[in-house]
Structure 1
Amino acid sequence: MAVLYDRLHHAHPGAPIVYLSTGAWNVAPTLTRFLGRNLYPAGPLLLTDWGPTHDRWFRNGAQHKHDSLARLAQEFPGIRWLLIGDDGQADERLYGEFAAAHPDSVRAVAIRRLTAGEAVLAGGRSSGAAVDAHVPWISAPDGAGLDDRLEELGILDNDPA
């Protein structure tokens, strides 16, 4: 995935890369080290608070992603986002809903299919039911497969040099 992100970063210089996660802010230093050591392009982290709220014991990660996507669309209305996620938890549903609500703000949705072990660690797989949002929707088991599909869509050039 790091190679894919690097190719996207070089193919679209100046385009923001934002890492949206249900992870809590207390993991930000570890996550930042992981991204740097694995050569992911720099970008801000949109993480969630950890702990109870006034009505829940734990934060709602899906709601955090939903609210963050809506905020990005509002604060950056001229950007067409490439939403990259995986089939664990709720990315497919959330990205599909966002694309349906903001079709002019989404260039494409790319979903990495988790391995069986990754799906266990993620708490399972999503239903796979994406909202028909009239935007390109691709999936693959890894960054190389997503790279190929993004080339087919013209988002990446097939000549990385």
Structure 2
Amino acid sequence: MSVLYDRLALEHPGAPVIYLSTGAWNVAPTLTRFLSRNLYPAGPLLLTDWGPTHDRIFRSGRQHKVDSLKRLAEELPDVKWLLIGDDGQHDEEIYGEFALEHPDRVAAVAIRQLSAGEAVLAGGRTKAEGYAEKTSVPWVSAPDGAGLATELKRIGLL
């Protein structure tokens, strides 16, 4: 995946690279080291707080992603996003809903298909609920960065 991200950064100079994750802020140093050591392009981390809220014991990672995408759309109105996620933590649904609401703001959605072991660690797989057919936004998926690169090249983003 790091090679894919690097190719995208080279192909689209000046485009922001933002890492949106359900991970908690206390993992930021570890995550930053991982990204740097594995040669991912530099970019800010949008992580979530850990702990209870007024109505639940644990914060909603899904809601964090939804709210963060909304905020990014508002704060960076001229950016057309390539949303990259996986089929493990509702990314397909979250990105699909965002693409339906803001089709002019999404260049494409790219979903990495988790391996069986990764899916177990992620708590299972989610389904896109046909978002690829519901929106005019290009939708690609593959099991790894090389496959996603091939698909992104096919639709003209690489």
Q: Structure 2: where are the runs of 5+ without partners? A: none
Q: Structure 1: where are the runs of 5+ without partners? A: 157-161
- RMSD of the alignment, in Å? 0.7
Post-superposition offset of 1:133? 1.9
Q: Structure 1 residue 8 and structure 2 residue 8: aligned?
A: yes
Post-superposition offset of 1:129? 1.7
> Which position in structure 1 is the counterpart of 2:42?
42
Structure 1 residues 96-134: Cα deviation after superposition (integer angstroms, max 9, x where no partner): 000000011000000000000000000110023242221
Structure 1 residues 116-159: Cα deviation after superposition (integer angstroms, max 9, x where no partner): 00000001100232422210000000000000001001110xxx
CA contact (8 A) 1:97 1:133 kept: no
CA contact (8 A) 1:83 1:108 kept: yes
The alignment-based identity, stated in percent, is: 72
CA contact (8 A) 1:113 1:142 kept: yes
> Which position in structure 1 is the counterpart of 2:149?
147
**For this pair of structures, how many residues does the alignment match?**
156
CA contact (8 A) 2:86 2:111 kept: yes
For 2:22, what is the secondary structure of its paired residue? strand
Name the TM-score, length of structure 2 as normaliser.
0.97
Post-superposition offset of 1:10? 0.4
CA contact (8 A) 2:24 2:49 kept: yes
Q: What amino acid is the match of 1:152? A: R
CA contact (8 A) 1:92 1:130 kept: no
Instruction: State the 4+ residue runs in structure 1 displaced beyond 2 angstroms.
Output: none
CA contact (8 A) 1:88 1:123 kept: yes
Q: What amino acid is the match of 2:136? A: H
Q: Structure 1 residue 67 and structure 2 residue 67: aligned?
A: yes
Q: What amino acid is the match of 1:58? A: F
Q: What amino acid is the match of 1:149? A: E
